[in-house]
Structure formats: structure tokens, C-alpha cells
Structure 1
């Protein structure tokens, strides 16, 4: 028998896979957070396709929107794409937006605006032109007597275009001047038939509404000139009152000579105007609308050569009492308060970094908790080494010393593994090295002593020590 526990009592070796599993978990967590941030950046910066409702078919508005769609597809405009959704009229476009079938729409400001619509830009301003053709030869000068709107009672008035909105507009003007719309015969002419109808003298007066340089309006006025006579333009002197009673309209003027050749009109004529707006669905991302507005005004000048109407695009009214409330994204662009990527997502980034820091702290605590058993095992092994140190000084067998030496080598290997795993620090490792050195010295001294003693003395000493322990 020998002093102290034998090799069979050696504590089990600490598991070495725990640290690896923890490292893998930590790496996976860090990669997950980085992947989440990268995915968030990708989805935040990827191009967004917006559907824009526009009508009627073959109108200038559709041509402008199609040109904008092509311009938005260029590489330098990578945040927003446009997909036109063709409708039958501006009213249908408004309904398409209200039904959620489009994110953007081109609407007339004097029509019912959807409750979920917010202004992004003013596509164009439209003026109202009301004129009377000169009398035809041989038919007296009855038509020439119409010089005021109040004289339209009982007359035939032709409206260019098939939209009911223009008829409603005419009725607003007549009512302002005390003319009963029921006593006026209102005829509507499709755009492609208006010129022929005017040449055939289908009405006594005509109304057209469109951009100041509208070819449709200019051609209609030119068709009404006959036999060297010029049409008479009726001034809407009550434009201020109409604008006051109907906020969708504004007082305006038709500049002299702005309606084609022959210096039409000869003098400035008072009228009213209304706007076509680009509106966005309420709730559409502020950053998306800001990006669309920025791209819209960036391509505006590049399109004006092919589409002069594009140069007329204006920023929306950002006043709180605007007829159509402005979308926050468009307002941010107009006011120069558009948020950058960091402004929009700084909170998410900050919280992600905090989560990463918390995960690191939690991981460190968890790592320490997992290494608790490893540290306890190492402490037991160090105690075992001290016991073997004591036993080595009294051992009478070189075989026993060799077994303890082999066990000490195993304890050394496990201790170095614990140090690599971070289970023990430099201080405990230094204390272990001191104990190991003392153990090696004790083994060496004891072996030298045993080798110097005769075999019979060694056997006697062993027997004596065995009898004493018994």
C-alpha cells in the first residue's frame, strides 16, 4: 500500500467540446446580427416600384408619365421605379388610388380628392379659355353680340373634351354670373372631333381647359376663326370670387398673344385655373416619397425638350391649409429636411449594437459558467498533485514513482488545455508550475535515494512501513 490516492482515483478530464460549442454560438450570433444589418440595408436601399394611375388614354399626362418611367429606369436613379396604370379619366385615377390599386395617381384638383391622397407635386396648371367665334357671313351678326358671360343664357356652349369635370367647371362659371345652367344648351365634343364641330358652327361659344400652350386648345380656337374674323375671348372677371368660393380654382390671366398666331388674344384676359396633381397614398413610406420627389425634379429638366409639360412640374403647396395636404416625404424634400439613411435607421443600428454588446456580455458570463466545472476539476487535479508530492517523498517503489510521474504528465496536459480554454488564468497556472516543479524534484530525489540503497534495505523499509500502517 502507498500513501495517498492511486492513479485510479484521478478525477475525470474536463470536457473540451464546451468551449468550442460556445465559440460557435458566439460566432453564429455575431454573424446573425451582421446579416440582419446587411439585409436591412439591402431592403432599405433596393429600388421600389410604384404604380401610378394616369388617364385618359392618349393624353399628354400619359405621355409624360411614360417618359418619367423611362427616365427613372436609368442607373443614376436607382431608388424608385414607376409602373403606369392606365385609366379612363382623372376621376378613375383618383378612384384607383382610393381603392389601393396604385401608390401614386394624377388627379384634377377640382374633382373629389380621395381621403387617402396627399400631394407630392403639381404636374401642371390649367387655364380656362372661353371664347365666341366670329359670325359667319350671311347669318347676321347675332353671335358677335356675345361679349360677356351674362349673355350666354339661352345659347349653345360647346365643351372641348368628354370629361364631366369640364361641364361642371362651366356650370360653376355660369352660376357665378347668375346664368342658370339649365337655360344653357351644353354640348360636349371629344378632343378628336372638336375641331370639326367648331368648323361646322355647332355652338355659339366654346370652353376649353388645359395647359396654357395646349395644342388642343390652340387648334380649337384656330378652327373657330373664319372669313378673316377673330374669335372674341370672354373674360372671367369674377375669378377672385370663384377662387374664394371654390378653393380648387385660382385667379389667373391669359397673356396676350399666348394662344397661337394672329396675336390671340390681343389683350390680357382674366380667367381661372386649376391644377393636375401627383398625389401619393397616405401611409406610403416617407423615405420612398422623398426619393420619388427628388428623382422627379432631377429628371424634369432633361425631359422638357421632348415634353415641354415636364418643365411645368412644380413643388406642392406645403401650407397647412393647402387644398390637398402635402405628403410628409414630399414636404421633407421641399423643406430640405429629407432624412439620410443614418437618420432613418440610426435607432435600429444603435439597438443592434446594444444587442451585440449585451450578447457579448451574456456570452462572457455563460462562458464563465460553463468553465466552472473545468476550473473545479483543475483545482482537484492540483490538489492531487500536492498529494502525490507528499507521497513521492515516502515512496519505496520506483514503479510507483513512475506511475505518479505519468499521472502528473496527464494533469499537466489537462491544465494547459484549461489555460487555453480560459478556464484558469496566469496566476493559478504559475502556482501549478511551482507545485509541478516541486513534484519533479521530489521524484528525482526519491529515485536517487532508492537507487543508492541495497535491495534488502529497500524491502525491509517497505515491510516496516507496511507493518506500521497496519
Structure 2
């Protein structure tokens, strides 16, 4: 009888429970955590990019050659030179009314508008560009011409011709408001408008009995017009608007104001004493839907750079912070209000919610990853348990094996089981305690195989000796 001890081992067999999971629990968890970290980094990076990126704002301003346009152009150049986050792109219009319409139609982000005109509902104040005072005066009489009845009060303007400096209809509306306050029917007054470039010549030619100009108190246009009304060393007569408070109460777009003595220079002083009047503002407005952070950044840069612009363009000194009162005629933009009130949000303030939710998302991803890890570990534990049970079954088979070839097959299968179990352990699929119990079962299997192999060898030797004895006896 040939012994099977020296026979070649059979090819390894597939573990009874099949190969382990395609991806280990540890690897799956690492991938989930890495994906979560990358997502957080991406969101934070995107938030930072949008917080510091250069933003170009379209600002509507006009008319051509106006002080407003020159101020905006100077600011635009200053922003660009300073490499500010906010940049300006001026859009020239025919005037404040056209600029307001650009905002209403969402064709501009910012605009310069007159406060006494209809301000679009989607516009909110960012800054006061300048304040304009209404100046009413009567030229000094000329000796060479017969003087008409002297006008010293607004109530005496009925039946006279009033010249309005500038072509904008808003100045005529301003004059009508003043006349109506004093009970004068505007139809009883002859109103004529003069272009800014023709105003001085018209005044010198005495084409009207009284004049109205609206602009900053130190406006060059108004100063030249007042100077042209001075004759023979006599200053013009300035008409006081004593009912300025009443006008401001009835028309919230106006404010009671004063023209300081000597505001227009000359000798004698023009005017010789303080004159009560009404004023209105030119506003820088922004679209309501423009983000608070963008408007706050623009407002901060505007007032930071104003000082530098003043040296080249003195009118920039007139820029003031907006009225933040809740009952302001032109409501303030929340972004501008945050800057004025010192409540401008930092990067963390603006994006803390996003960061918080991102961290919550990362935590959720970690929980999901842990669940998947547990799921895969469950499969690994199940496979390990199945391999251990198979080893226990193989112990019984080995103890009753009838050949060395069968023991070799069992040994090869045990080697494959050991290989898969160690791989699963290295990948975190099973705990050390489970590996210990597996080692005990594996040790018992090896012992059973060794015992059975020795028994088979002894049995073969016994049979060989018995056969030899029978042959000797027969001889």
C-alpha cells in the first residue's frame, strides 16, 4: 500500500465564505472623512474668495461736465490706484433723473440722485454726496437803468420774472414749492431757465427780476452768478425763506438750512448776514438687493479714500455719512448703516453659519462613515466567525481522515483561511479578541492534523510489518 505522506499538496481551495469585502472598513471610513474635509475646505475657500474678490460696481452719474461726474471719476481712479476690493465703473447719464431710472431698471448698482426727486423704491442711501442750498436773490439795481419796485421779500415776487440757473426741471419744482408756501400761484410768475454757461451773461443783461440757484453753498456756479448781480459796489438782496421749517415739515425731502454771512465773498459781504433757506441732498444710492457686505466695503473705502481725493477735488470734502434714522426720507442701506454704526460684520461673522453647518455636515459624514465602517466590520466579523467555524469542522474531519492527501487539502484550506483572516485583521475588520479565538481554533486544527498524520504513518508501518511477517511464515 503506497503511503500518501509524500504526495504533492492539492491546489488551495476558496475559503468557504468567499473573499472579504472589496473595500475595508478602515479604508471606507478614511475615504468618507477625507471627502468631508475636502468639502469643508472647499466651502471655506469659496467663502473667502467671495469675501475678498474684486467687485466692480456700475455707478450712474450725470450730466456731462458736472461736478458730480468729476467727483465720481476721481473716486473711481482713487479706488483703482489703491487696489481696493471695490472698483467703480461710471455710467454717464443726462442727469439725476436718468441716473435714478438706471437704478430702477437694474442697469446700475449705484447712482447719484437728487433727494428732492422721486427716488426709486429699490434704492437705498449709502452716503450723502453733497448738500445743496436754495439761493434766491434780487440783483443790485444799475444806475443806468430805471429801477423797478424793490423786491425784499418772497411774497413780492408775484408778477415778476424769475430766472432759474440750470436746465433741470427739478429746480423749477423747487421754486414752485417755495412760491406756494408763500401763497403765490406759480402761474402768476414768469419763470425762465438759463443754461449754466449762459447764466452770468443773462444776469448781467438783467433778463429777470430775481434769480434762483441750487447747489453747494460754495458752488462756483452760484458764486459767479451772485457776483454778476453786484453793481456799483452794491450787493444783491438775498431773499430769506423764513418758512423753511414749515416747508421741511410738509416736504420731507427738504431741510431747513442757513446760508452763512459772506458765503459768496465780495465786498461788501455776500450776504451781509445769515440767510434762512431750504436745502436738499444729492445721495449716493445702491440697489436694495446689493449685498450688505459689498455695500459696507464700498462705504468703508469711500470714507477711507475721501481725504486723498479732497486734495485734488475739494468737493469730495462734502461727502457725508447717510442718515441712519428709521424715518429718514431715503432709507439707508443696511450695509452702509452697519459701517456707520460700527457693526460691520467680519469674515467669520458673515460666514459663521456656513462654517457651523459645514462642521455639522462633517460630523454627519463621520457618523455615516462610522455606520459604513460598522457595516463592513459586520461582514468581516461574519466572515471571520464563518472561517473559525470551518476550522472547527475541519478539526473533526482531520481526526477521521483516511489519507495524507486529504490532510494536505485541509492544510491548504487552513492556510487560505489564515491569509484572509490576517488581511481582515490588518484592515481593522476584526478585533484582537476575535483573532485570539481564531488562533486557538487554528492551533487545535494543526494539532489534529499532526496527530492524524502520525497515526496514518504508524498505521502504514504496522501494516508493512504485518505483511512482511506473513510472507516469512508462508515461506
Q: Normalising by the residue count of structure 1, what TM-score does the alignment of the two structures yield?
A: 0.89
- Does residue 185 of structure 1 match 2:190? yes
CA RMSD of aligned residues (A): 2.6
- Does residue 346 of structure 1 match 2:352? yes
- In structure 2, the residue matched to 1:216 is 221
State the alpha-carbon separation in 1 of the partners of residues 355 and 65 from structure 2: 48
State the alpha-carbon separation in 1 of the partners of residues 98 and 421 from structure 2: 81
Secondary structure of the structure 2 residue equivalent to 1:323: coil
- In structure 2, the residue matched to 1:425 is 431
- In structure 2, the residue matched to 1:197 is 202
State the alpha-carbon separation in 2 of the partners of residues 382 and 458 from structure 1: 38
* Alpha-carbon displacement from aligned partner over 1:295-345 (angstroms, at most 9, x marks no partner): 222112221111222222112112222111222222222222222222222
- In structure 1, the residue matched to 2:7 is none
- In structure 2, the residue matched to 1:409 is 415
* Alpha-carbon displacement from aligned partner over 1:351-406 (angstroms, at most 9, x marks no partner): 22111111211122123223433332222211122233344444454443333332
Is the CA contact 1:288–1:329 (under 8 Å) kept in the aligned structure 2?
A: yes
Question: Number of matched residues?
Answer: 454
Shift of 1:89: 1.1
The 10-residue stretch of structure 1 (400-409 or 63-72) with the greater mean CA deviation from structure 2: 400-409
Is the CA contact 2:151–2:157 (under 8 Å) kept in the aligned structure 1?
A: yes
- Does residue 247 of structure 1 match 2:261? no
- In structure 1, the residue matched to 2:62 is 55
State the alpha-carbon separation in 1 of the partners of residues 347 and 264 from structure 2: 48
Is the CA contact 2:60–2:102 (under 8 Å) kept in the aligned structure 1?
A: yes
Match of 2:237 among 232, 235, 247: 232
Shift of 1:275: 0.8
Is the CA contact 1:450–1:458 (under 8 Å) kept in the aligned structure 2?
A: no
Cα distance 1:142–1:403, how it changes in 2: closer, same or farther (>3 A)? same
Listed as ranges, the matches of 1:1-400 within 5 Å are 10-19=15-24, 24=31, 27-74=34-81, 77-78=84-85, 80-142=86-148, 145-262=150-267, 263-395=269-401, 397-400=403-406
State the alpha-carbon separation in 1 of the partners of residues 54 and 460 from structure 2: 94
Shift of 1:259: 0.8
Is the CA contact 2:137–2:239 (under 8 Å) kept in the aligned structure 1?
A: yes
Secondary structure of the structure 2 residue equivalent to 1:351: helix
Shift of 1:418: 1.1
State the alpha-carbon separation in 2 of the partners of residues 134 and 75 from structure 1: 49
Runs of 4 or more, structure 1, over 6 Å off, are none
Is the CA contact 2:425–2:435 (under 8 Å) kept in the aligned structure 1?
A: yes
Secondary structure of the structure 2 residue equivalent to 1:17: coil
Is the CA contact 2:47–2:351 (under 8 Å) kept in the aligned structure 1?
A: no
Secondary structure of the structure 1 residue equivalent to 2:343: coil
